[in-house]
Chains A and B, each alone.
Chain A
Amino acid sequence: MIELENVVKEYPGHRALDGLHLSVPAGCVYGLLGPNGAGKSTTINLVTGLLKPTSGHIRVGGIDAVAEPLRARNILAYVSESVALYPHLTGRENLQLFSRLAGRRLEESESTACLERAGLQADAHGRRIGTYSKGMRQKVGLAIALAKDAKAVVLDEPSSGLDPGASHDLAERVRELASGGLAVLMATHDLFRARDTCDTVGLLVHGTLRAEWKASEVQDHDLDLEAAYLDLVNDSSHQSATSNSVTSKSA
């Protein structure tokens, strides 16, 4: 459903993504791990069309997201770390507004259903967003994704700053989304939540995918994801330092 093929993103003097290949099929939750600066946000921004790749192909539901960004965005939803909604509107009004912008007019009952499916308690539906916790805002974000009838969802650090209860709740909702046939691409720092929630976990370092583990590998073989992560990240940092050192000597 989400496919990245040999994607390169360059900024002046810096290559953020270096030939990234990644595939998230329908019904799969893909956790994208990586240290700061690894290229996770760049990947998210490229998939959502906020940035254009220097080269390579990005497809969402088979649609070329670079050539036909609007069509690709039609079937894509996005939930950020801190879902930014309009503070002067209630949770329900935000859902209705963003759905309408996506071309769908929600009836009262439909918006209630979406908010309930996203796990937002009923007494909060009519309250202004200014009174919401971060977790509640994320539930409205998920409701917006549900209402859009998206085929794929991109989550950017969704559990960051959430208490364990809210984080667990969110993970359950994400699993529900995937079980409904959505492809979920989730950038995260949370190794434990990734292990519990994702079907596939990819490790991005210096703009390249260094490893990819299936849930079965992690769970069945009792893989220590933290140790594997640290090994690969440290190894990459060492290689990078050596490479830089060699480059500077040869220069």
Chain B
Amino acid sequence: MIGTLFLNEWRAVLRDGSGKVVLLLGALLAFGAAWTSASTHDRQEFAQSAATHAARSAWDQREGDSPHSRAHYGDFVFRPNGPLAYLDSGLQAVTGRVIYTEAHRQNTAMHKPQQEAASLLRYDRLEPATVLQLLAPLVLVLVGFGVVSNERESGRMRLLWIQGVRPMPLLLAKTLALWSLGTLLCVLIVGAQLIFADQMDLGRTLTFLALHLLLLWIVAALVTVVSARTRRPGTSAAVLLSLWVLCGIVMPRIAAMTASALDPLPGRDAFQAAMQEDREQGLDGHNPRDARRQKFEKEVLAKYNVNSRDELPVNLGGLIMQADEEYGAQVWDKHFGELEEHLQRQDRLAGTFSFLNPIQATDRLSMEIAGTGLSSHLDFLRQTEDYRRELVRKLNEEDAYGVTRNDEGRLTRTTTHGFYTGFEAFHYEPLGLRDLLGQRSMELAALFAWMLGTTALLAFTAGRFERRGIL
């Protein structure tokens, strides 16, 4: 019975003019989104590759620098696109993907195409994730708002009932038909992307597909339930479109605003000022900087068992720079750690809205699967800072130890050009899928709760028809 009803729904879609239009639009959207996303992705990859090459060449070809000058010259760090950025570019456009690394300073990311956009509002791009999270549910609403209420209004429900159709198989068949339409859109969109993309992470792609199929099941079940519980198709359409606007447009904004209002982040200037203050005053705020330097110098002289800087076999300046760098790193760790904790707290607060909005849960999980979400960004910042510290440490140590004292007692540098060209460029290692999903257990729980809830609602609605009759 379910199969017969299911096939009949598909026959209606394929024979009905509006059904064909919806399918055609869906296919156009799939290929449009795949093409625009892939071309943007390719353009970015090309530009990034060129910039990486240019930065490396400039680093390699530079001459006459002391190691510390080279630490000030710095290096550009480029974050590669997330493994599935062509399906979901996530927060990349907001968070930025290029960081200038240098001695003494931890810079923020540059090149943010959406510098002015609020961090959680990202639905302004035609990309596969947007189509699957916003437009595919809308397609299901438009195709399915009358899926049961039309049967009732036209009087067909009576005939179906008399012919022995029971409510649960009827509602299940309607839901499955809608879901299969969503599945077709999903497969078209992801499949089209694979045509344009030159590489594929199968595990992530299948997880991405499964996630969106789960969302579309929730939407299909919800559309069927609303259509079954409203007397007229017009009412059903109004209710479902309102829900779509609420979940797709209004609630993500409310979530972001609520999180900002309840737990506001410090402004960028305040954050920098606080860090600067600690940098100048020391961690405990009692030891003047000069005193620390004098103490450090005495420790070095004692270590080398000499009385003055001129007798040292190393360049004291390099050691001081490294000590200063390590102190700066502690300050950064303290402030960035607090900021990261704050960001994650705010993120968790915004994430609780996933229990109210399955689209939001899907959005957050989708970004993480694609490697373009907040966790990946914070991980990129950490890996960049690790790279910067290592780079500056090597340069400072060369500044300190890449010297020899000549017969006249003067320090001369032994650093060769090969030392600089031997540096490995930054390589970002994306977080594994399991780690990323592990950080989104709340969203996963919310989505499964939605799936169970809507399926239970379907069964409850069918039971109600069974008990009270279908009128």
Q: Which A residues form the contact surface with B (CB < 8 A)? A: 45, 48-52, 70, 73-74, 76-78, 80, 82-86, 88-89, 97-103, 141, 144, 148
Contacts and interface: CB of A to CB of B under 8 A. Distances in A.
Given A45-B469, A84-B158, A101-B164, 8 more contacts: A48-B162, A49-B162, A49-B469, A52-B468, A73-B164, A85-B156, A86-B156, A144-B163
A50 B471 contact: yes
B11 interface: yes
Contacts of B155: 80, 82-84
A77 B160 CA distance: 11
Interface of B: 1, 4-5, 8, 11-12, 15-16, 154-156, 158-166, 468-471
A65 B50 CA distance: 78
A70 B161 CA distance: 9
A103 B1 CA distance: 8
A97 B4 contact: yes
Contact of A88 (B4, B15, B163): B15
Contacts of B8: 86, 89, 97
Contacts of A50: 158, 161, 469-471
Given A77-B162, A84-B155, A101 B471 contact: no
B161 A73 contact: yes
Nearest to B150: A84
A98 B468 CA distance: 23
Contacts of B15: 88
Given A50-B158, A84-B155, A84-B159, A101 B469 contact: no
Nearest to B160: A101
Which of B5, B159, B161, B468: most chain A CB closer than 10 A?
Answer: B159
A89 B159 CA distance: 15
Contacts of A70: 164, 166
A83 B159 contact: yes
B400 to A, nearest CB: 82
A98 B16 contact: no
Contacts of A101: 1, 4-5, 160, 163-165
A70 B469 CA distance: 12
Nearest to B4: A100
8 contacts: A51-B471, A52-B469, A98-B159, A101-B1, A101-B4, A101-B160, A103-B164, A141-B159
Nearest to A96: B4
Contact of A78 (B1, B154, B158, B165): B158
Contacts of A83: 155, 159
Given A50-B470, A97-B4, A98-B159, A88 B16 contact: yes
B164 A102 contact: yes
A80 B468 contact: no
A48 B470 CA distance: 11
Contact of B11 (A85, A88, A103, A141): A88
A82 B471 CA distance: 17
A224 B351 CA distance: 77
